[in-house]
Structure 1
């Protein structure tokens, strides 16, 4: 129906295609009664079925208040009864599929540009459904001037197919159906800044946007994950200090990435993030000219914090605390005084929990946040 709606074809060609589609519909469509029911109601509304079939549809529609599956079964029975002359010998008459593809080709051959179908989020479907869908696309719609674009997380789809069917490698199986793989380019840093500015303004989040931009990239967040974290931060009362948004962001991002921060010690929490920061900056060509000590996390954190040069940054506090809490050797008086301000790492000033990681776990999971 989408093809017929999109293509301004000659009535004779269009009607011939409808006949061939009815002949082949059992092979083309998934064997799911409720999906067939939905399609049939669309066809009936468009006036493409005979009066007898329409009467059957109306009768089934009136009965749907009972059980949806029963309606699907009644529909199947009614369709078979009224389309006997077209589908009676379908399983033995393989030419029907050939004729269907020919008529489909005739329908779109005169288009100035290809007819493009976009199938989104295929990886979110059940593996069995996903495979059946791409098989039908390949076998029944693989003709000139029709293009299917499958928007999907390919690695995730391969993993689910592999798990469902027990394949050792799903990749080679999918390649039978996909003609060309095109990866979406990774979002550039400046584009993330647009997302951050939009949502921090929308939710009135008081934070250093440069910090959040860096954290988003260090923690390898996609835009959906970033927005979800900002939505949660909007529900937290964390405007008391520059470091609070950083602590909340890092904790929530670790949870988003299934790193289980609540099970980490304070030092593990520090080191997990700073290791990611070091690896990110070490791979960033802009920073290779900096003489950071990449082998020593403590020295790297201190050097990076001093070089960050942003007075309003909570990230500098975070890095400085790590350095002064665990650095060996004598600290200068200013650093010793700074060390006593460790309470700034906690989720709230009223929280009596001495472990700042546990304080954020308790605060964030207090019961008012909804996933």
Structure 2
């Protein structure tokens, strides 16, 4: 699937054949199987939202889940909404994808698929009943209507000369078309009902539900994204068809608010009208951290970082700490690994490399500290506060390795980021007695910047800033 194992400098290539859950760094397979079992039990249609922040691996998950569904003989459609938002109306795209899925199925005959396509065309014409003359008057090209749009363009071309010179007549024709649409309203309603009935009859023939995954919804043109979820609810809310909308729900609700002028709470309520329930794609759970460490180790190796185990453990433990504290996304962690690969010390100086990790994870440290030792003092305090707040989690996941009477000592032993020259217990004591810390700078100068020598305030800030952003 990738040219590299865990981390690719390019985007994942899902167009070629790949194995479901290959490189499952976040143990997403469990969620995929759980969702599959849920879908199989459904006796009705449903619209699910898969909610996660940008960079949490939504596309990776749904692509692998789609492959898993396909491997287990499910009917599955994957649609990149962002790649299709140049269209005006998503109805045709959704219907065409479903038609193709029916055609590919062994359970539905070709004549039945053709009947469905015919009813789809009738609905599309109803949706576009007054567009020909409006398009002619406005000079528009209705790309979003596909073949129907092309037909309207032909009408426009053939009558262009007349339309250009007789605008009053066009206005009359627009009025006539609107009046005709009102008169035929009951016919159009019946057309839509016939479409939904045909769709329901075909879906009922499927042994397993059709899963329609719509990705990149929060990256779409806002009006297209909103119309898409409205079309799903109004036309495709059918038993045995399950839609999965992939989005950052908080961001998407802001799009709704902006479009309709709602406040934030109303925006979420509006979305919930179209979504039956939301599945959160959670960040890495503490219980999976050992699995994560194995894979991030592999990621470092793929980037050419040949650290010894002792050095690597210190870096990974620091990442562990910040993943939990700041809820870093998968993408953020991989970007961190890439930047670390560019800047890490090839002299295998563990102290400098782990200071680098700290800066990359939290650039604000540059503003809070004037020396390396002051930086370490801040870090120790943060880690101590974190352990105190999450004492129960540490007891649960670290078991006998956790000592409630000395959480800071335990975490620092786990972090292990000054395991060689710098004795952790001695350093903690020095932090508690800052006067001794100041008098001991020479002893611990190994952790300073610029060849690990003590520096003044100006050199400390500018040195690390230049190093991180310029590699110098």
1:177 deviates by: 0.7
The separation in 2 between residues aligned to 1:164 and 1:314, in whole angstroms, is 58
Q: For this pair of structures, how many residues does the alignment match?
A: 316
1:155 deviates by: 2.4
Alignment of 1:93-108 (within 5 A): 93-108=188-203
Provide the aligned C-alpha RMSD in A. 4.1
Paired residues of 1:17 and 1:100 also in contact (CA < 8 A): yes
The separation in 2 between residues aligned to 1:245 and 1:358, in whole angstroms, is 18
What is the TM-score of this pair, normalised by structure 1?
0.69
- Aligned with 1:290: secondary structure? coil
Match of 1:280 among 386, 389, 399: 386
The separation in 1 between residues aligned to 2:279 and 2:341, in whole angstroms, is 36
- Aligned with 2:342: secondary structure? coil
1:35 deviates by: 5.8
Which sits farther off after the overlay, 132-141 or 213-222? 213-222
User: Which runs of no fewer than 5 residues in structure 1 stay unpaired?
Assistant: 41-52, 54-72, 294-299
Match of 1:14 among 78, 92, 113: 113
Q: Which residue matches 2:332?
A: 225
- Aligned with 2:277: secondary structure? coil
1:346 deviates by: 1.9
The separation in 1 between residues aligned to 2:156 and 2:110, in whole angstroms, is 26
The separation in 2 between residues aligned to 1:284 and 1:160, in whole angstroms, is 39
Say if 1:172 and 1:281 are closer, same or farther in 2 by CA, change over 3 A.
same
Paired residues of 2:211 and 2:243 also in contact (CA < 8 A): yes
- Aligned with 1:151: secondary structure? strand
1:147 deviates by: 0.6
The separation in 2 between residues aligned to 1:119 and 1:316, in whole angstroms, is 53
2:154 is the alignment partner of 1:78 = yes
Say if 1:250 and 1:316 are closer, same or farther in 2 by CA, change over 3 A.
farther
The separation in 1 between residues aligned to 2:156 and 2:125, in whole angstroms, is 11
Say if 1:203 and 1:344 are closer, same or farther in 2 by CA, change over 3 A.
same
Say if 1:16 and 1:105 are closer, same or farther in 2 by CA, change over 3 A.
same
What is the TM-score of this pair, normalised by structure 2?
0.56
2:346 is the alignment partner of 1:239 = yes
Say if 1:360 and 1:367 are closer, same or farther in 2 by CA, change over 3 A.
closer
Structure of higher RCO (CA pairs closer than 8 Å, 6+ residues apart)? 2
Alignment of 1:142-291 (within 5 A): 142-168=237-263, 169=265, 170-187=267-284, 188-205=288-305, 206=307, 207-213=311-317, 214-215=320-321, 216-240=323-347, 241-255=349-363, 260-266=364-370, 273-274=379-380, 276-282=382-388, 283-285=390-392, 286-287=394-395, 289-291=403-405
The separation in 2 between residues aligned to 1:197 and 1:231, in whole angstroms, is 13
2:447 is the alignment partner of 1:328 = no
Paired residues of 1:123 and 1:156 also in contact (CA < 8 A): yes
